[in-house]
Amino acid sequence: MAGSVAMARRVVADGIQTSAATPHLRADHPLVQPGELAERLAELRERLRAEEIPLEVVAGGEVDVFWAGRASDEELRLVSYGQAGRVLLLETPYGFLPDVFEELVADVVGRGLRVVLAHPERNETLQRSPDRLEELAQEGLLLQVNASSVAPGGPDAGAHRLARRLLRDGLVHVLASDSHSAGPWRPPDLGRGYESAKEDGEAQARWLVEDVPRALLDGGAIPSRPRAAPTRLSRLARRRPG
């Protein structure tokens, strides 16, 4: 609880008003039980009210695709955003991505859930084959990238390159903190990623951190993507005499 409260303070200091609590649902996290999430979240909300921390916390989970395949429909509902059974955050594996990954994702989608794919830019297989992500996005999958991947100077150059490419190509739907603690390990740092994403247009950056996340939580339609800001090269091209 102390760690959660400390992270909530850091999140609010970073300018965030709503945060999704997304514990890992996978084989190496056996203590995370879907049926306990609502009660634990209620305890956290009560503590945040007592501490006067102005943060709305929404239920959710970061779900391993193999765990999802074995889970019941009720378990998937309990780990969806707001436990509403509409939107599920699916974790991109870190290791080698098998050819059946797309089929496993399709099975989850086939169970009536809209799927958001977390941090695909960090996967080395996808860094080498970004066309697989383009195909998933074309099929309706929503892509979420980490703020730390978008901001320059991060530890993973491959993730940074792919995140910037996905942003440039208009394939990213959500920019997330993916924070795990108040610091120093993976603290909330959405602000830096947001500032970096503004290079492609402030309206689009705001769409990634406000408009789409709110639509997902409310169960509404995804708003239209704002037009990206023209690059410096395209601005120079328009100035060139005809």
SS (H, E, C) the chain: CHHHHHHHHHHHHCCCCEEEECCEECCCCCCCCHHHHHHHHHHHHHHHHHCCCCCEEEECCEEEHHHHHHCCHHHHHHCCHHHCCCEEEEECCCCCCCCCHHHHHHHHHCCCCEEEEECHHHCHHHHHCCHHHHHHHHCCCEEEEEHHHHCCCCCCHHHHHHHHHHHHCCCEEEEECCCCCCCCCCCCCHHHHHHHHHHHCHHHHHHHHHHHHHHHHHCCCCCCCCCCCCCHHHHHHHHCCC
Per-residue confidence (pLDDT) for residue 229, from 0 to 100: 66
Per-residue confidence (pLDDT) for residue 36, from 0 to 100: 98
Per-residue confidence (pLDDT) for residue 238, from 0 to 100: 47
Per-residue confidence (pLDDT) for residue 155, from 0 to 100: 78
Pairing status of strand 18-21 against strand 24-25: unpaired
Cis peptide before 184 (omega within 30 of 0): yes
Q: How far apart are CA 216 and CA 144, in angstroms?
A: 12
Per-residue confidence (pLDDT) for residue 233, from 0 to 100: 47
What predicted TM-score, i.e. pTM, was given to this entire model? 0.92
Per-residue confidence (pLDDT) for residue 69, from 0 to 100: 96
Per-residue confidence (pLDDT) for residue 133, from 0 to 100: 96
Mean pLDDT for each 10-residue chunk of the chain (242 residues)? 96 96 96 98 98 98 97 98 98 93 96 97 96 95 97 90 95 96 90 93 96 96 86 49 49
